[in-house]
Structure 1
Amino acid sequence: MRQGFPAGRAVYVAAPVVAAALAHIGPAATWLPGLRRRRFPGLAGQGSPTHVALTFDDGPDPASTPRFLDVLDVLGVRATFFVLGENVVRHPEVARELVGRGHELAVHGWTHDRPWWPAPARDARELLRTVRVVGEVAGRAPHWYRPPYGILTSGRWAAARRAGLRPVLWTAWGKDWRHDATPVSVRATVAADLRGGGTILLHDTDHASAPGSWRATLGALPDLVRDCREAGLTVGPLGEHGTGHGGADGDPVTAGTGPSGWSARAAPFRSPAPG
């Protein structure tokens, strides 16, 4: 009995800590693409079946972002850029150029951190700070929020709601942050998961990626857009994607409120890219 008591007491004391940790990190299960697409299509960024949302994370960056803007101008495409608050403050002229060229600014957080430990007060404070900075540059309040690494915790869900933001992740990515990424690999990786109504995740900077990896993304961009157009799909920002603004569409707390029917009608996407 004496030997069992300390162990039992330890379990009793640890139980609330474990429960709090699970409550904090539990929503991050939506990072799993299969779960996200099936259960939370709004969170996955599933929109109109004739449209593809093009999104970029981690900027703005004066070394790379303007190059993406030039290519997008040539392609006649507008996109959504999930920017970091610290980068907007460091490079306001690039952020203003994004807006001036007709692109949509969205919130990626203040810094590119991993939220393993609960910090709801900090999450709320930093997200509101980013919303304010982005809103000042864009001339209007942002609608969208994508947390770094796609990790949504309960604290960041609450912070996004408080800030009036709608979380949205992605249905297809290019794994363009890798040191071995190439234009061919980025194109093929996106094509493997992309369908009509999908949202593409790419990066316009190597801020949190392998040095110079953005060059592979930039090289893949014209072919990606051409592939979508040849499949009969329009490419544009989330604001034109048919997912709506605000609310809790796709929120695990209110599952089933999203446009789940769209995923069943999504147009197939076929790319000639090898790999």
Structure 2
Amino acid sequence: MDARRTALLAGAATVAVEAAHLAPAAARLAPVGRRLRPGLAGHGAPGHVALTFDDGPDPASTPRFLDGLEALGVRATFFLLGDMLERAPALGRELTDRGHEVAVHGWHHRRQWRPSPRRDARELRRTVEAVTAACGVRPTWYRPPYGVLTAGLLAAARGAELRPVLWTAWGRDWTDRATAASVYRTLLPDLRGGATVLLHDSDCTSAPGAWRSALGALPQLAERCAQLGLTLGPLRDHGLTV
């Protein structure tokens, strides 16, 4: 076998491995997710809307969300980053003390395109341990950064006894142009029974101050759910089958 053919076969094998690694990420695509894995995509009970936040806890912004949600009488699920929780463990405990659900978003917020099974498993275990220790409860849910659920991350989540879940509606609240009105307007077409809403309670990976747009949209979001006769709450009440 000549060197060129060997190189081509090696390249094809690499592509095949990486394609298999990325295959579960197809659940992020709305039509695929609805058809193949509705629970993984976040489609839950028809009378309920799950409210979720990523990227915290952040001492600069998360307390504002806690107060805003308290005023609305709403509880939510917070997907925590391990490196953020490490800096503010008391805030993690406050989340559960105030009735919210905590979940795992990974240790770092980064794209995990290439296979690294040991790293994936190690970081998820580390995050589960940190969340359990700081918040006083063991997390149930896992959402990968950017919604990219690779085969390696899926296996790591199963090994850590976590249930992966993505989202069906988002507010695009991470940009420097986002406003409360734009976030609500973006959410509205997908705001229906069974939806899982993605917002962010931190700007650690977003434009500075972008979290204010999500916070400002919460009253309208809660009001719209009430108008539709829908309960707004955490994933634990969403009736997901994943």
TM-score band (shorter)?
over 0.9
Of residues 137-146 and 65-74 in structure 1, the stretch that sits farther from structure 2 once superposed is 137-146
Matches within 5 A, 1:65-80: 65-80=62-77
Look up the equivalent residue of 2:13 and give its one-letter code: P
How far did residue 140 of structure 1 move? 2.2
Structure 2 residue 55 is the aligned partner of structure 1 residue 55: no
Matches within 5 A, 1:238-253: 238-243=235-240, 249=242
Task: Look up the match of 2:129.
Answer: 132
Structure 2 residue 18 is the aligned partner of structure 1 residue 18: no
Look up the equivalent residue of 1:82 and give its one-letter code: F
SS of 2:56's equivalent in the other structure is coil
Task: Look up the match of 2:157.
Answer: 160
How far did residue 5 of structure 1 move? 4.3
Partner Cα distance (1:126, 1:9) in 2: 35
How far did residue 32 of structure 1 move? 1.1
Structure 2 residue 196 is the aligned partner of structure 1 residue 199: yes
Q: State the TM-score, normalized to the length of structure 1.
A: 0.85
Look up the equivalent residue of 2:238 and give its one-letter code: H
CA offsets 1:49-77 (integer angstroms, 9 cap, x no match): 00000000000000000000001000000
SS of 2:199's equivalent in the other structure is strand
Partner Cα distance (1:41, 1:13) in 2: 36
How far did residue 152 of structure 1 move? 0.5
Partner Cα distance (1:171, 1:65) in 2: 23
Unpaired runs of 5+ in structure 1? Answer: 250-275
Matches within 5 A, 1:1-275: 5-243=2-240, 249=242
Number of equivalences:
242
Partner Cα distance (1:9, 1:184) in 2: 56
Determine if contact 2:168/2:196 at 8 Å carries over to the other structure.
Answer: yes
Partner Cα distance (2:187, 2:230) in 1: 15
Q: Which has the larger radius of gyration?
A: 1
Partner Cα distance (1:6, 1:124) in 2: 36
Detail structure 1 runs of 4+ shifted over 3 Å in the superposition: 4-7
CA offsets 1:128-170 (integer angstroms, 9 cap, x no match): 0000111112322110000000001110000000000000000
How far did residue 6 of structure 1 move? 4.0
RMSD (Å) for aligned C-alpha atoms: 1.2
Partner Cα distance (1:13, 1:138) in 2: 46
How far did residue 10 of structure 1 move? 2.1
CA offsets 1:164-218 (integer angstroms, 9 cap, x no match): 0000000100000111001111001111112101100000010111110001111
Partner Cα distance (1:139, 1:194) in 2: 32
Task: Look up the match of 1:265.
Answer: none
CA offsets 1:88-113 (integer angstroms, 9 cap, x no match): 11001111111111100000000101
